[in-house]
Every structure is written in C-alpha cells, then in structure tokens.
C-alpha cells in the first residue's frame, strides 16, 4: 500500500536502512516494555506500539508486507528472548500491530501540523485516534489475555483497552512532536532564567507534594495547574516530554500500590481512564497555544512586511529604523538614510499595464535586498518609493553604495508581465550623519534625504544626490 507521507521527502531514508532501524527501534522498545513489566504480561509501560505508529506515519513504505513482517518479527523476538511462549507472543504481537495499523488509518490523512501536535485540535485528534486504535488492539489482545491470565473476557478487554489508550496518550504526543524539535523557534521571548524554569519547577514541586500526600485519588491531579502553565509557556515538545515523564512516573508508582489482581480490574481500568482523560488537558492547551503563537507570528509578519515585495512595509521600516537609530545615537555612531524612487514608473504602468509595474517593483526589491548588507534596513514606504538605513558606515562607503544601487537598477534585466524586456532607473537622495545626535530623528533624516531626492529628479534622474556633511 503506497501512501504519501506528510513529512518531507528528504526525511525518507533508503529502504534497507529504514527496515533495519525501524526493527531495532521496535525491538528495543519492546524489550524496555517487557523489562519494566511489573504485573505479569499486561505491561503498564509499553512504548513499542506508539513507536510503530509514528514510524508508519513517517515512513508509509513500512506499511508493505516486508515492513510489517520486520516489525512483527521484532516484537516476537523480544518476547521469545524474554521467555514468552510463541503462541502467546503471536497473539500479543497481532494485537499490537492491529492497534498501530488502526491508529495509522485514522491519522495518516491529517495535516503535518496536527501530526506534530501543533494544531488547535491535535490533542483531541490523538485522543480519539488512540482510543479507537486501543479498541482495535483490545479486540485481539483482550481474548488473548483471557487465555493467558485467566481473566473474564470483560476484564481482558478492559485491561487491554485502558492500558493501550493510557500509554498512547502518554507517549504519542511526545513522539509526534519530536520532528518539530528541528524547526526554528518562531517567537523567542526573552525571559529571565528563573521565569523560564518556573513552570517546570512548579510541576516538580506539586508532584513531590502529591507523593508526600500519598495514595489519595485527589493527589493524581495536583500537578495539573502547573502542567497547564507549562503548556502555555513552552513549546509543544517540551510540554509533551514533561507530561509524559509526570504520568509515566505516576503510573509506575501507582501500579505498585494498587497491584493487579483480577478482583481490582475495575480500579486499575478506571485509574488508567482517569489518567488518559487528564493527559488531554495540558496537551490540548499546548496545541491550541502553538496554533495561536503561529497565527500571531504570521499576523506580526504581515503587519510589518509589504505583501507585494516582501520587504518591510512603511510601518515595519519605521519601527525597525527607530530602534536601530536609537541604538546608534546612544553609541554616537554613524548612519546614512537613503530615499529611493523609481523613475517614470507611471509610464511602466501606462505602457505595459499594472501587472508589469508590480513585477518591476518585486524585481527591484529583490535586487536592492541582494545589493545591501545584512545589517541594512530596507523598506517600501510608498508606491514606487523605498527607503534604506545604512548603519555604522563612512560617508564614502554610503555614497558609493547609493551610486552602486543606481548602477545595479540601471543595468538590471527586467521584464514586463508579458516577458518583454524592460528598462528601469532609480533616483536616490542621501542624508548622512558621522555621529548621530538626539535631534537626528528618523523623520528629520528622511526629510533631508527626500530633499536630496527631489534634486536628483531635478537633475535628470538616474543618479544619487547628497549634501556634504559639515
Ligand atoms: N503597478 C503598481 N503601480 C503603483 C503601485 N503603487 C503606486 N503605483 C503607481 O506608481 C505611479 C507613481 O507615479 P508618479 O508619482 O507620477 O512617479 P513617476 O512616474 O515614477 O515619476 P517620477 O517619480 O517623477 O520619476 C502611479 O501611477 C501609481 O499609480 C503599485 O503597488 N503597483
């Protein structure tokens, strides 16, 4: 079965290597699950199924007979090495793979955002999909555990379903969020060290309190406020890790207290279901928070950038230049402010159409961006008008850059919307300060540059004009 992976094609490794790595990962996870089995065969911490599900989502090629056979063999091998009988292992493994395949069917068509837990409803989606996958797995695993442990059918189904679902809600969000560790942190907030770690410290504090309070049902939810605080403060991956660690620890500790005997199946199942529901809270908040942060980031970008040329808009340019000039003034540093205006731009629109004018604006913006230094600030401040701030620069270098910009546009290979060649020239006015003083506001420098630009137009255009600093 061939299905498109929601992940980038470059992430898809060679088939042989993929099979080997996937099998090793599943084998290792199954061994971890088996070795941590506190209560007979119904392992309370079983990461292997969620690893299989994430592998299937990332590498749909594994959903072929060879891939599934390799995954199947990894489970069985881990069982046989640790003394489980072959027939029991075949039953358990079929249940495990069935659950993973069912989860894959539910999740494979979801957006990459949701599959990285960064959508508004990602946690609910994972909650629903893993609930269904656990049911599918329990439909096989339940009867197998009846045969293996002498439980009633209801008990077997209940134990398998709740155990699987709880494991999925603890592990799947973390595993799904893993790829986003590579993506850049968008909105970096500068906060003090203490503030940054406070939510995590609150979790630790409340968890310690809950263990000190002891085996009381209420203590299960003590850390919920701190987990919600983490969800609002950290990236989704960090929240998923913290949530996973808190609840895996809780489950291991609590399972040692409650103990598994057929008589308290209902207690264990209700505890597991309670934890599964609890996990939904912080994960939902984290997903909604990630979606909101991304939206804010996009809106902030749009508010500061010109949609046609993608350089800073007037608003963005003014804000960035203000901050820059303030710093340069504080340091007593130099700066040049340039006003740039395309010559006879109206004619381009009139003779070749508005679309050609737009294309020229985009192409000129790209040329200007490529010609400037990374620390320079470029913005489109009007129709065919641009402005630039060149920080920390000598007068000679500033005028040389202005002349080079004129030359770059003059020799630029532009085209109309119909791909016919197009000529363009640029006039520039320049204002310069060797050492910026508090009175040298952006507005004052732009006004001075505008006067020089007026002279450049009067002198016949396609040139740069400046007043020699006294
Ligand atoms: N295609 C396009 N045209 C625009 C845009 N914004 C402004 N314009 C046009 O740019 C033209 C500017 O014309 P003018 O101010 O007369 O300037 P000019 O023709 O460049 O003449 P000089 O500046 O004196 O050399 C106007 O026709 C505006 O309609 C835009 O986003 N796209």
The reply to whether 34 falls in a domain is yes
Output the pLDDT for position 133.
96
Distance 345 CA to ligand 1 centre (A): 5
Output the pLDDT for position 8.
46
Cα dist from 377 to 322, 340, 388, whole Å = 11, 13, 5
- Are residues 281 and 409 part of one domain? no
* Contact (Cβ atoms closer than 8 angstroms) between residue 223 and residue 246: yes
- Are residues 146 and 42 part of one domain? yes
Output the pLDDT for position 16.
85
Cα torsion 141, 146, 149, 152: sign: positive
Distance 417 CA to ligand 1 centre (A): 16
Output the pLDDT for position 43.
58
- The whole domain housing 449 covers 314-466
Whether the predicted pLDDT of 208 surpasses 90: no
Whether the predicted pLDDT of 375 surpasses 90: yes
Output the pLDDT for position 196.
83
Cα dist from 216 to 15, 258, 345, 388, whole Å = 50, 11, 77, 66
Output the pLDDT for position 265.
76
Question: Which range scores top for mean pLDDT: 33-47, 107-121, 407-421?
Answer: 407-421
The model's confidence at residue 222, banded by pLDDT at 50, 70 and 90, is confident
Output the pLDDT for position 257.
64
- pLDDT, the chain, mean: 87
End-to-end CA distance of the chain: give it in Å, rounded. Answer: 76
Output the pLDDT for position 181.
41
- Are residues 139 and 14 part of one domain? yes
Output the pLDDT for position 394.
95
The two counts, helices (H) then strands (E), for the chain are 16, 7
Burial class (CB in 10 A: 0-12, 13-18, 19+), 403: middle
Whether the predicted pLDDT of 4 surpasses 70: no
Which of 5-14, 68-77, 248-257, 400-409 shows the lowest mean pLDDT across its residues?
5-14
Among residues of the chain, what percentage have pLDDT more than 70?
A: 89
- Are residues 293 and 324 part of one domain? no
What's the rounded mean pLDDT across residues 129-138?
Answer: 96
The reply to whether 1 falls in a domain is no
Output the pLDDT for position 259.
57
* Contact (Cβ atoms closer than 8 angstroms) between residue 406 and residue 462: yes
**Residue at a domain's end among 253, 277, 303:** 303
The CATH number for 454's domain is 3.30.70.270
ipTM of this complex: 0.96
What's the rounded mean pLDDT across residues 332-358?
Answer: 96
* Contact (Cβ atoms closer than 8 angstroms) between residue 231 and residue 286: yes
Distance 340 CA to ligand 1 centre (A): 13
The reply to whether 283 falls in a domain is yes
Mutate to test the pocket of ligand 1, among 308, 339, 349 (most ligand atoms within 8 A of CB): 349
What's the rounded mean pLDDT across residues 46-51?
Answer: 93
The model's confidence at residue 361, banded by pLDDT at 50, 70 and 90, is very high
- Are residues 123 and 262 part of one domain? yes
Burial class (CB in 10 A: 0-12, 13-18, 19+), 75: buried
- Are residues 299 and 318 part of one domain? no
What's the rounded mean pLDDT across residues 55-80?
Answer: 93
What's the rounded mean pLDDT across residues 37-51?
Answer: 73
Q: Which atom of ligand 1 is nearest to the CA of 343?
A: 25
Distance 387 CA to ligand 1 centre (A): 15
The reply to whether 3 falls in a domain is no
The reply to whether 2 falls in a domain is no
Per residue in 226-269, pLDDT (tens digit) is 999 899 889 889 999 999 999 888 877 777 665 556 567 787 78
Nearest CA to ligand 1 atom 6: 383
Number of separate domains in the chain: 2
Cα dist from 125 to 55, 106, 129, 165, whole Å = 18, 9, 6, 13
What's the rounded mean pLDDT across residues 361-389?
Answer: 96
What's the rounded mean pLDDT across residues 85-103?
Answer: 95
- Are residues 460 and 346 part of one domain? yes
Nearest CA to ligand 1 atom 12: 346
Please tell me the distance from the alpha carbon of residue 311 to that of residue 295, in angstroms, as a whole number: 20
- Are residues 227 and 367 part of one domain? no
Cα dist from 304 to 134, 291, 388, 422, 462, whole Å = 47, 20, 15, 30, 29
Q: Which residues line ligand 1 (CB under 6 A)?
A: 308, 341-346, 349, 354, 357-358, 361, 383-384, 457, 461
Distance 456 CA to ligand 1 centre (A): 17
The model's confidence at residue 184, banded by pLDDT at 50, 70 and 90, is very low
DSSP-derived secondary structure letter, 305: B
Whether the predicted pLDDT of 420 surpasses 90: yes
Is the pTM higher than 0.90? The answer reads no
Whether the predicted pLDDT of 221 surpasses 90: no
**Residue at a domain's end among 303, 325, 353:** 303
Hey, what are 209's tokens? 């309190």
- Are residues 193 and 69 part of one domain? yes
- Are residues 357 and 295 part of one domain? no
- Are residues 382 and 290 part of one domain? no
Per residue in 302-330, pLDDT (tens digit) is 999 999 999 999 999 999 999 999 999 99
Question: Which range scores top for mean pLDDT: 33-42, 109-118, 404-413?
Answer: 404-413
What's the rounded mean pLDDT across residues 326-339?
Answer: 94
Q: Which atom of ligand 1 is nearest to the CA of 349?
A: 1
> How many residues does the structure list for the chain?
470
- Are residues 320 and 290 part of one domain? no
Cα dist from 440 to 213, 390, 392, whole Å = 64, 14, 15
The model's confidence at residue 130, banded by pLDDT at 50, 70 and 90, is very high
Which of 94-98, 144-148, 182-186, 333-337 shows the lowest mean pLDDT across its residues?
182-186
**Residue at a domain's end among 259, 277, 303:** 303
* Contact (Cβ atoms closer than 8 angstroms) between residue 337 and residue 442: yes
Output the pLDDT for position 187.
42
In the sheet where 377-380 sits, what is the strand order?
377-380, 385-391, 335-342, 426-433, 464-466
Hey, what are 438's tokens? 């508090």
Output the pLDDT for position 252.
77
Q: Provide the 10 A C-beta neighbour count for residue 9.
A: 7
DSSP-derived secondary structure letter, 459: T
* Contact (Cβ atoms closer than 8 angstroms) between residue 236 and residue 287: yes
The reply to whether 174 falls in a domain is yes
């Amino acid at each position: 079965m061939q299905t498109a992976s929601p992940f980038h094609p470059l992430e898809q490794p060679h088939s042989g290597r993929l099979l080997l790595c996937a099998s090793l990962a599943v084998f290792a996870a199954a061994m971890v699950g088996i070795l941590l089995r506190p209560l007979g065969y119904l392992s309370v911490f079983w990461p292997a199924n969620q690893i299989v599900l994430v592998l299937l989502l990332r590498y749909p090629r594994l959903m072929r007979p060879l891939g599934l056979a390799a995954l199947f063999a990894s489970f069985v091998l881990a069982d046989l090495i640790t003394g489980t009988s072959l027939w029991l292992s075949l039953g358990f493994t079929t249940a495990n793979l069935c659950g993973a395949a069912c989860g894959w069917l539910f999740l494979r068509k979801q957006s990459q955002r949701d599959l990285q837990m960064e959508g508004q409803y990602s946690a609910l989606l994972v909650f629903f999909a893993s609930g269904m996958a656990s049911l599918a797995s329990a439909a096989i695993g339940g009867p197998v555990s009846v045969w293996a442990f002498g439980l009633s059918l209801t008990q077997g189904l209940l134990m398998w379903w709740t155990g699987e679902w709880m494991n999925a809600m603890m592990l799947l969000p973390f595993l799904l969020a893993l790829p986003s560790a590579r993506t850049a942190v968008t909105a970096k907030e500068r906060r003090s060290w203490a503030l940054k770690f406070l939510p995590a410290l609150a979790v630790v504090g409340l968890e310690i309190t809950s263990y000190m309070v002891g085996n009381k049902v209420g203590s299960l939810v003590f850390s919920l406020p701190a987990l919600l605080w983490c969800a609002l403060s950290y990236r989704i991956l960090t929240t998923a890790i913290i949530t996973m660690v808190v609840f895996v620890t809780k489950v291991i500790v609590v399972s040692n207290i409650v103990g598994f005997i057929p008589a308290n199946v209902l207690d264990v199942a209700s505890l597991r279901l309670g934890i599964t529901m609890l996990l939904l809270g912080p994960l939902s908040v984290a997903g909604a928070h990630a979606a909101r942060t991304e939206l804010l980031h996009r809106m902030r970008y749009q508010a500061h950038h010109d949609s046609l040329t993608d350089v800073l808009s007037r608003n963005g340019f003014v804000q960035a230049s203000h901050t820059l000039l303030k710093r340069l003034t504080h340091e007593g540093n130099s700066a040049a402010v340039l006003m740039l205006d395309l010559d006879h731009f109206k004619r381009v629109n009139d003779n070749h159409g508005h679309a050609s004018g737009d294309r020229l604006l985009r192409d000129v913006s790209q040329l200007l961006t490529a010609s400037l230094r990374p620390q320079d600030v470029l913005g489109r401040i009007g129709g065919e008008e641009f402005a630039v701030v060149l920080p920390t620069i000598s007068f000679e270098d500033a005028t040389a850059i202005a002349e080079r910009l004129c030359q770059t546009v003059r020799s630029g290979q532009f085209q109309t919307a119909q791909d016919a060649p197009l000529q363009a020239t640029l006039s520039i006015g320049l204002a310069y300060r060797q050492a910026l003083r508090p009175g040298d506001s952006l507005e004052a420098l732009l006004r001075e540059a505008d006067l020089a630009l007026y002279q450049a137009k009067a002198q016949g255009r396609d040139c740069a004009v400046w007043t020699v600093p006294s």
